[in-house]
Amino acid sequence: MKIILLQDEKKLGKKGDVIEASDGFARNYILPKKIGIEATAKNMNDLKLQKANEDKHAKEQLDAAKALAAQLEDKQITVRIKGGEGGRTFGSVSSKEIAAACQEQHGIEIDKKKIQMTESLKNFGSYEVPIKLHPQVTGKLMVKVVEV
């Protein structure tokens, strides 16, 4: 019996996979526990439409991330922080402060968790900060740290 899985199941497959299961296993385990449904023509068509819809949403998200990355390329934000002797800062600039400055200066909302800094910015100057907008898209934002 052909079965369409409705959820990920260990040793059977992933959600949306069409598997071949014995009739008894399907009737006694898979169908009663709502792990899968029988692969009829209607259910196969519904699965195909659902996958097409998911692909469409994934493409829209990818296009939006690429557009935001292109928009961030030519932007520069300025973060002001107190300074001490020798061009060093009191404290550091974190991803939270960069996200807040980007929202305030350009109106672009960026999640602080998407800002990928290897370490906090502790000196004055300009830095190129990578921002992971999508698993396939990483944008760059110029951050200028200046003294108050």
Which tokens sit at 73?
């390329």
b vs e for 26-44, b when ≥16 Cβ sit within 10 Å of the residue's Cβ? beeebbeeebbbebeeebe
- Kindly give the confidence (pLDDT) of every residue in the chain, 148 residues in length, as a single tens digit, with 9 standing for 90 and above: 999 999 999 999 999 999 999 999 999 999 999 999 999 999 999 999 999 999 999 999 999 999 999 999 888 999 999 887 777 788 888 999 999 999 999 998 999 999 998 888 888 889 999 999 999 999 999 999 998 8
- Tell me the pTM: 0.71
